[in-house]
Amino acid sequence: MTAPPRSDAAPRITAVVFDLGGVLIDWDPRYLYRKLLAEEEIEPFLAEIGFFAWNHAQDSGGSWDDAVEELAAQHPHRRDLIAAFPDRFPETLGGPIQETVTLLDELHRSGTTRLLALTNWSSGTFPVARTTFDFLDRFEGIVVSGEERVAKPDPALFAILLDRYGLVPQETVFIDDAAANVVAAQQLGLIALRFTSPGELRADLSRLGLLDGAGSG
């Protein structure tokens, strides 16, 4: 994790940008596939079909109907399992990561920075999150990769965020659980934090002068 500067030398911060999956939302395709496969079969199945690259392609703007047909043509004996992912997407969501949502709520109540989200998520499944997680209303705006047809860590998605909301990179904190996305943000001048746990994130935001390190309660 990249250590932020000490609070006595903290930069001026005007915005905090959150990733969603893995930071605020517990998403894992294994939650679904545990209902469809024996535990020992899940990882071989995901590797066999190249699940995460396939999913990333849809996060980059692909069509789920086309994606299912193309992948099922390569793995016809896996068609039902492949189609289950978009068809039963709500079952891949484990719920909010409540401790991180608490941090978001504290930032929202303080009103000291703008709050935005930048997420790799397909346009076809993001409406599920919109209707499931009311804390998404805390954000001034959410940039969804599938809607923009480009995904992190591509700098073009960060440019869309910065341009659309008039953000100054050196005054913007970006939080993500993926190392490649953190590196991409750093290269663009953002204050990038690698999310490893809500406790570590609270400590990082506290050192930046944005939160009370002791928590709200």
Q: In the chain, how many domains are there?
A: 2
pLDDT tens-digit map of 91-121: 999 999 999 999 999 999 999 999 999 999 9
- Residue 95 identity: G
- Which tens digits make up the pLDDT trace of 16-32? 999 999 999 999 999 99
The closest of 74, 86, 87, 73 to 48, measured between CA atoms, is: 74
Task: Look at residue 182 and tell me if it is in a domain.
Answer: yes
Q: What is the percent of the chain with per-residue pLDDT over 90, rounded to a whole number?
A: 92
Whether residue 83 sits in one domain with residue 20: no
Domain annotation covers residue 143:
yes
Within this chain, do residues 126 and 171 fall inside the same structural domain, yes or no? yes
Q: For residues 16 and 73, state if they share a domain.
A: no
pLDDT, position 213: 59
- Indicate whether 143 and 62 sit together in one domain: no
With a cut of 50, list the residues of the chain below it in pLDDT.
Answer: 1, 3, 5-7, 216-217
- Domain range for 157: 7-24+97-207
Q: Do the domain assignments include residue 216?
A: no
- 59 touches 121 (CB < 8 A): yes
Indicate if 104 and 15 belong to the same structural domain: yes
pLDDT value of position 52: 97
Mean of pLDDT over the chain: 94
